[in-house]
Every structure is written in C-alpha cells, then in structure tokens.
Chains A and B, each alone.
Chain A
Amino acid sequence: RKEVEQDPGPFNVPEGATVAFNCTYSNSASQSFFWYRQDCRKEPKLLMSVYSSGNEDGRFTAQLNRASQYISLLIRDSKLSDSATYLCVVNRGYGGATNKLIFGTGTLLAVQP
C-alpha cells in the first residue's frame, strides 16, 4: 500500500461544476499537508496548505480528517483553467522538516466547456 493514495482520475466535469478529490495517508504521525497543482509537463506549484480546522481560498476548500487519515480538496464553480493534476502532499517529518514530504501520484481534472 502506498503511503499517500489518490484516485488518478481523470475527473471529467463541465464548467461550473463542483468537484471533490480525496487523498488518504497511512502514517498517523504525519504532521502537515498540502495540495499542489501541476499542469501538463510543468513543475508542481503550491495550491494551498491544509489546516486542521479546514481552510478556504476563493473557490477552493481543503479539509483534514486526522481520525480517518484523509484530506480533501473541493473546487466550486470549475473553470477551464482548473484543468490540471492535483497532487496531495503529506509531511511525515517533525518540526516541518521538508525532507520527509511524500507525494501522491496525483488526480487529473479535466474541465469541459
């Protein structure tokens, strides 16, 4: 079993739809969590950190469920420009040590006109 698991998709949704991705992690000692966005053949870029209380950034909402060991990303009112691969990233290091980041394989989102 992978330490971080994501549904690879693709998720094909129409413009304006709401879409949600889940990501599960196996190491209960994981300390911090992130969602990155990666466009085709480009580098990953930080979308948002995920906080215990949940957090929102415009159309994007991230949630963390430590008891069930999963994080989620909700995208409302999908835009064509949201089409990308969304990477779930878990840090199992202490003190924010970034050498302990574990990347999921990503979920591909394709927003259709």
Chain B
Amino acid sequence: DGGITQSPKYLFRKEGQNVTLSCEQNLNHDAMYWYRQDPGQGLRLIYYSQIVNDFQKGDIAEGYSVSREKKESFPLTVTSAQKNPTAFYLCASSITNSPLHFGNGTRLTVT
C-alpha cells in the first residue's frame, strides 16, 4: 500500500539531546512537509521541500533542521536549540495543487 510512514510513534529524550524523526513516502510525491501540533493550536509548518536537495523554512523553523537527499525521505532533526520540543510531529506529502496526505505522526516528549 502507498503511504507515508513516520517512525517512531513515540519518542522520549532528555533535554539537550538532538533527536531525528523519520518520514518516508512511497507515493512518488514531490513535496514533503513537517508540521507541529500543540494542544489548542492549529498545525504549524516547520519546514517544507518541493524537490530533492531543496527545502525552505516554514513559520517555526528555529531549532529544527531537515534534509532531502532522496525523494522518498524527509527526516527532521529537533535540536537542543528548540525551546519547547515536546509536541506531536506530523509529516505530510503532496503533488502540486493537491491536498496533503499525512503520516501517522510521532509524539516527542523531552524531559
């Protein structure tokens, strides 16, 4: 089945550690996105990539980094510079002018 796979589903880290969230898609979509969801807030865009080897900052990119070395993969690193990293992280992909397809998310807890 085609889809977007995020792993792991739950992730626990100590403050000060970098952590990388995985996102893989086999939908052959050009564009991929990372969003963050916090209680009482709408999804907010962290980074997006419309083609391989290119990516752009979204609305809340500080403290995050990404790479897009392959069309299928768009990993997100949450660095120690991110002040409030505990959140639900959602990866999505799309083709031009089409709605987003989301992965099943990673819940990150930093203590």
Q: How large is the interface on B (under 10, 10 to 19, 20 to 34, 35 or more residues)?
A: 20 to 34
| Given A43-B104, A43-B105, A49-B99, also A105-B41 (CB < 8 A) | yes
Chain B residues, CB < 8 A from A4? 42
Chain B residues, CB < 8 A from A43? 90, 102-105
Binary per-residue interface labels of chain B (25-66) against chain A in the complex, 1 for a CB within 8 Å, 0 otherwise: 000000101010000111111001010000010100000000
Interface centre among A46, A98, A99, A106 (most CB of B within 10 A): A98
The answer to whether A87 has its CB under 8 Å from any CB of chain B is: yes
The answer to whether B82 has its CB under 8 Å from any CB of chain A is: no
Binary per-residue interface labels of chain B (85-96) against chain A in the complex, 1 for a CB within 8 Å, 0 otherwise: 000101000101
Q: How large is the interface on A (under 10, 10 to 19, 20 to 34, 35 or more residues)?
A: 20 to 34
The answer to whether B97 has its CB under 8 Å from any CB of chain A is: yes
Chain B residues, CB < 8 A from A104? 42
Provide the bound-state CA to CA distance between A65 and B56, in Å: 32
A contact face: mostly helix, strand, loop, or mixed? mixed
Binding site for A on B (CB under 8 A): 31, 33, 35, 40-45, 48, 50, 56, 58, 88, 90, 94, 96-105, 107
Binding site for B on A (CB under 8 A): 2, 4, 8, 34, 41-46, 49, 87, 95-96, 98-99, 101-106
Other A-B pairs, 4, CB within 8 Å; known A46-B100, A46-B101, A101-B45: A49-B99, A96-B97, A98-B94, A105-B41
